[in-house]
Amino acid sequence: MNRDVSIGIDIGGTKIVAGLVTNQGEVLYKQIVPTATEGKEHIIFQLQQLINNLLKEANKLRLPTLKGIGIGTAGQIDFKKGIVRSGTSNIKYWNDIPLKQEMQRLFGFPAWIDNDVNVVALAESYLGAAKGYDNVVFLTLGTGIGGAVIQEGKLLHGEWGGAAELGHMSVDRNGPECNCGYNGCLEAYASGTGIANQMKQYLIKKPELYDGSIENITARDVFQWAYEGKQHAKSVLDDSMDALAYGTVNIIHAFNPSLLVLGGGIIDQHNWINQDLQNRVRNLGISSLVQSVSFAKAAFGDEAGVIGAAYQCFLYSKNVQKEGASYEG
Amino acid sequence: MNRDVSIGIDIGGTKIVAGLVTNQGEVLYKQIVPTATEGKEHIIFQLQQLINNLLKEANKLRLPTLKGIGIGTAGQIDFKKGIVRSGTSNIKYWNDIPLKQEMQRLFGFPAWIDNDVNVVALAESYLGAAKGYDNVVFLTLGTGIGGAVIQEGKLLHGEWGGAAELGHMSVDRNGPECNCGYNGCLEAYASGTGIANQMKQYLIKKPELYDGSIENITARDVFQWAYEGKQHAKSVLDDSMDALAYGTVNIIHAFNPSLLVLGGGIIDQHNWINQDLQNRVRNLGISSLVQSVSFAKAAFGDEAGVIGAAYQCFLYSKNVQKEGASYEG
């Protein structure tokens, strides 16, 4: 098999990772910079510098002509048009940016841009935990909850790329308000922020159980207290897992996947969640659907974003060639 | 355009409709029989008789060679294998039937079989309310709630055909138990059965409000009482619509459709639901997703099932020919 190489860029709230990535998922070279906080022009300037550095390095390494530039970024992405529609609270002024076009104009390479969870799903699908599976759902549990769906081997984008907002699936219409404005979202129960908030609400009602500062409680505290056997924390985590199980069953009913891949910081740090979730899910919902799903942990760690971002180029550049377009320099 | 003709069969709990259908959705001839209640052999025998009659009629009408046999049936269908996995409480012993293979063996035509809501979605997608839309969600509100999803112009089947069980999306993990065994399903609130059950529960708690027999209450009663201005019925319907709105927003977050098509007996009889649901949905959830969805009423009535069932043959027979197989007699 030929070793193709692309540029992959993972734009997160705190850092931007840019790398030269092979179609086998090797990261040959990478650079990391803290995400600019002054707005979009600054981030685009950072991308320019990073890509220039990578191009020099590719030259030094005598790599073949690069296949393109693939970008994964937090926020809502119009995949077809290649536009960042609206970012996230983590990246300031990161909205209404025709990033695909801008990258193509600046560097003459074909470029693709997608949501950060979608590109992680590509990495896992073609090179990681979901290799060989055609119908897969990905859930990442971190500060928030992200989702991505592979249907018949392809990322599910919906009309403009906004599909698979699985963290914002409500499992209780009378439940707590989520950051997104909706109620009872999975993210409001089972993300890092959600777990911390639920613990705070619990202790506000029973202040006699805690003499510290309730505002400063984090999900890490809740997990720690639960490991120490503290009942209030165990009770909050049990409720978070119950909500997560209902959300997962809803997702299985909607997509009929054969594999569910769990990733993100919370999953990495708390191994028991995968098995606990499986046990709960198998006792809920429509048996033929919930029983036909396997569970797996994401195979890639930190580099999943940059690998998946780059993988877009290997996957989609064939179509570019088919359509007769050629941006390769 | 050539006028192709196929056999379409719609197997429901009370009746089987079989017709000769053109690729423009005209039903040239049809027969209806009550669904046999004695078990699968009897239903298959009914199908044989119906198809034989249609073949004779096609001959009489000097129709071109039929493209195939398309079947839509209630229940869980393994679309790839062409097997009825498990039927519904409405059709007895309607499970584990290799119906596609059986039809092909008996008649020498290519055959396709899918879930009843999926084939209705095909009819609406190619000939009806969703013509020209690539990303569509269908919800049918009748005795139960059915769902179907078109993504990038294709029916979403999932791993074996069980996807889009949208009636069994929970919007309250502490909500009422559904027929399926899960809790807080859309179907438990907003289907005919769900609305009747919610009214019964309401009146069991306040028996002074009703002097009739609570067990015999139907959804029709609830709608009638609400039109008469009775507060208890208005309150139950308001809650059903709230649950339906949350379920619809969940579905929009999952699939990012540009169109939502509502159909089924409840929608046909109560025109206000479409607008009421829109108003509620637009005030919930993630704005970029809920604001980019249009709402429409299903265009086909009773014949949607038989037309959509037949439409499978026009849609999929190209692939059969591509793969080199030919069953046409």
CA distance B315 to B114: 13
Say if the Cβ atoms of A135 and B255 lie within 8 Å: no
Domain extent, residue A35, equals 5-122+302-322
Name residues 245-284 of chain A within 8 A of B (Cβ): 246, 249-251, 253-258, 284
Pairing label, strands A27-34, B259-263: unpaired
What is the per-residue pLDDT across A143-194, written as a single tens digit (0 to 9) for each? 999 999 999 999 999 999 999 999 999 999 999 999 889 999 999 999 999 9
CATH number at residue B76: 3.30.420.40
CA distance A202 to A196: 10
Number of domains in chain B: 2
Residues B180 and B245 in one domain: yes
Q: Is residue A289 part of a domain?
A: yes
Q: Is residue A41 part of a domain?
A: yes
Cβ-based neighbours of A275, under 8 Å, separated by 6 or more: none
Say if the Cβ atoms of B160 and A243 lie within 8 Å: no
Residues A143 and A92 in one domain: no
Residue B81 contacts A, CB cutoff 8 Å: no
The residue of B253, B288, B290, B293 whose CB has the most chain A CBs within 10 angstroms, and thus the best one to mutate to test that interface, is B253
Angle at A320 between CA A315 and CA A322, to 5 degrees: 105
Cβ-based neighbours of B261, under 8 Å, separated by 6 or more: B121, B124, B129, B130, B136, B137, B138, B139, B295, B296, B297, B298
Q: Please, what is the end-to-end C-alpha distance for chain A in angstroms?
A: 23
The residue of B114, B154, B159 whose CB has the most chain A CBs within 10 angstroms, and thus the best one to mutate to test that interface, is B159
Please report, in tens digits, the pLDDT of each residue of chain A (329 residues total). Answer: 578 999 999 998 889 999 999 999 999 999 999 999 888 899 999 999 999 999 999 999 999 999 999 999 988 999 999 999 987 777 878 889 999 999 999 999 999 999 999 999 999 999 999 999 999 999 999 999 999 999 999 999 999 999 999 999 999 999 999 988 999 999 999 999 999 999 999 999 999 999 999 999 999 999 999 999 999 999 999 999 999 999 999 999 999 999 999 999 999 999 999 999 999 999 999 999 999 999 999 999 889 999 999 999 999 987 554 333 333 33
B115 CA: distance to closest CA in chain A (Å): 14
Residue A327, pLDDT score: 37
Say if the Cβ atoms of B158 and A182 lie within 8 Å: no
The residue of A88, A135, A169, A249 whose CB has the most chain B CBs within 10 angstroms, and thus the best one to mutate to test that interface, is A169
Name residues 293-322 of chain A within 8 A of B (Cβ): none
Residue B206, judged by CB atoms within 10 A of its CB (0-12, 13-18, 19+), counts as exposed
Searching chain A, which residue's CA lies closest to the CA of residue B158? A256
Residue A240, pLDDT score: 98
CA distance B71 to B321: 19
Residues B31 and B51 in one domain: yes
Residues B265 and B149 in one domain: yes
Residues B188 and B283 in one domain: yes
Residue B173 contacts A, CB cutoff 8 Å: yes
Say if the Cβ atoms of B181 and A286 lie within 8 Å: yes
Please report, in tens digits, the pLDDT of each residue of chain B (329 residues total). Answer: 578 999 999 998 889 999 999 999 999 999 999 999 888 899 999 999 999 999 999 999 999 999 999 999 988 999 999 999 987 777 878 889 999 999 999 999 999 999 999 999 999 999 999 999 999 999 999 999 999 999 999 999 999 999 999 999 999 999 999 988 999 999 999 999 999 999 999 999 999 999 999 999 999 999 999 999 999 999 999 999 999 999 999 999 999 999 999 999 999 999 999 999 999 999 999 999 999 999 999 999 889 999 999 999 999 987 554 333 333 33
Q: Is residue A128 part of a domain?
A: no
Residues A229 and A85 in one domain: no
Residue B329, pLDDT score: 32
CA distance B145 to A254: 13
**Residue B262 parent element (H or E):** strand B259-263
Cβ-nearest to A289 among B149, B165, B173: B165
Residues B204 and B163 in one domain: yes
| Residue B24 per-residue DSSP state | T
Q: Is residue B128 part of a domain?
A: no
